[in-house]
Amino acid sequence: MVDLAKSAIWYARHGWTVFPLRPRTKEPFKDLGVYSATTDTDQIMDWWREHPRANIGLHCGGCNLLAIDMDSYKDKFSGGGILTHADEETPTNLTGGGGTHLLYSVEDGQRHGNRIGNLPPGIDIRGWGGYIVLPPSIHPSGIQYRWEFGYGPHEIEVLPLPVRLSQILDEARVGNRVPGPPNTLAVSISRDLVLAVLEAADLETYGEQKYDGTGRKWVLKHCPFNPPDDPHHEDKGAFILIAADGHIAAGCQHERCRHILSDAKMSGWRYLLRQKATRT
Ligand SMILES: [Zn+2]
């Protein structure tokens, strides 16, 4: 007999926010949605005392985790250039339905929703407000969820979200804003402004690219959000985007750069504008 309560408590003791799901389903109980998830072991014992066969849900974003949800086994995706083999050295949940969940850690307070942006088909994410079913829950097919051999959270550390994925998801987050209709005039005005700022701030790019239909994108050679004592160069981390409606966004996927922006309490683009103002 599978001891789901014991596993739920083990996860909670390791800081994972869990909640019960209906037995042999991925469905929450009424009034116990993803935001009920907790690390409070008393609460968890109460839940599983009442529902001993409940499956275990993990609210990924609740404990700064992000799950990459793939339709099939992970190796099939390595060739797609999204994940390297090294990126896959992280806890790996084999679902009873033939899918795979890879778990990554994200920065505290970095709320990735469930927007997937330009991820290839067959890949999905579960972040803030998103959940996955954890082993040893039972899939509706009757097959048990299990950790891949050698890849359980008791066997291997959770890796930070790989840079390439983080970049794609950041771009998706730019899209979390409710976009206006495509506007080529707004894009052209924004483009003049971006080019002026690139020049004034002496920022080199890898060239202008198309983005989001009529929009534009520049990947920067040197990150302008960098802490001066810890520069990173030519790793394509920093970017400026113009969405199809003319909205400008800028940022970098590196942790320290994000901290600099969040400490300054401004968006990447505002930060660049201010730099331009102080230079001219
Ligand atoms: Zn940076």
Hey, is 255 helix, strand or coil? helix
Can you point out the beta strands (E) in 128-272? 131-134, 146-147, 159-160, 205-211, 215-220, 238-242, 248-252
Q: How far is CA 147 from CA 80, 103, 133, in A?
A: 24, 11, 11
Nearest to 104, CA basis, from 80, 120, 121, 83: 83
**pLDDT value at position 103?**
96
CA–centroid distance, 170 to ligand 1, in Å, is 13
CA–centroid distance, 185 to ligand 1, in Å, is 30
Buried b (16+ CB within 10 A) or exposed e, 29-42: beebebebbbbeee
**pLDDT value at position 1?**
59
**pLDDT value at position 259?**
76
CA–centroid distance, 198 to ligand 1, in Å, is 16
Nearest to 94, CA basis, from 151, 136, 147, 158: 147
CA–centroid distance, 203 to ligand 1, in Å, is 13
Q: Each residue of 48-61: pLDDT tens digit? A: 999 999 999 999 98
CA–centroid distance, 223 to ligand 1, in Å, is 5
**pLDDT value at position 168?**
76
Higher-confidence position of 169 and 159: 159
Copy the structure tokens of residue 185.
């005039």
CA–centroid distance, 220 to ligand 1, in Å, is 9
CA–centroid distance, 132 to ligand 1, in Å, is 31
**pLDDT value at position 113?**
64
Question: Which strands make up the sheet holding 131-134, listed edge to edge?
Answer: 18-21, 55-59, 131-134
What proportion of the chain, given as a percentage, has pLDDT over 90?
Answer: 46
Lowest mean pLDDT among 21-25, 143-147, 246-250, 263-267: 263-267
CA–centroid distance, 230 to ligand 1, in Å, is 9
CA–centroid distance, 231 to ligand 1, in Å, is 8
Measured CA to CA, the distance from residue 123 to residue 166 in angstroms comes to 14
**pLDDT value at position 135?**
97
* Cβ-based neighbour number of residue 16 at 10 Å: 23
Hey, is 258 helix, strand or coil? helix
Q: How far is CA 5 from CA 52, 53, 276, in A?
A: 7, 8, 57
Across the range 130-144, mean pLDDT stands at 94
CA–centroid distance, 205 to ligand 1, in Å, is 14
Q: Each residue of 203-255: pLDDT tens digit? A: 999 999 998 788 999 999 888 888 677 777 777 788 999 988 888 989 887 77
Copy the structure tokens of residue 72.
């099939």
**pLDDT value at position 262?**
72
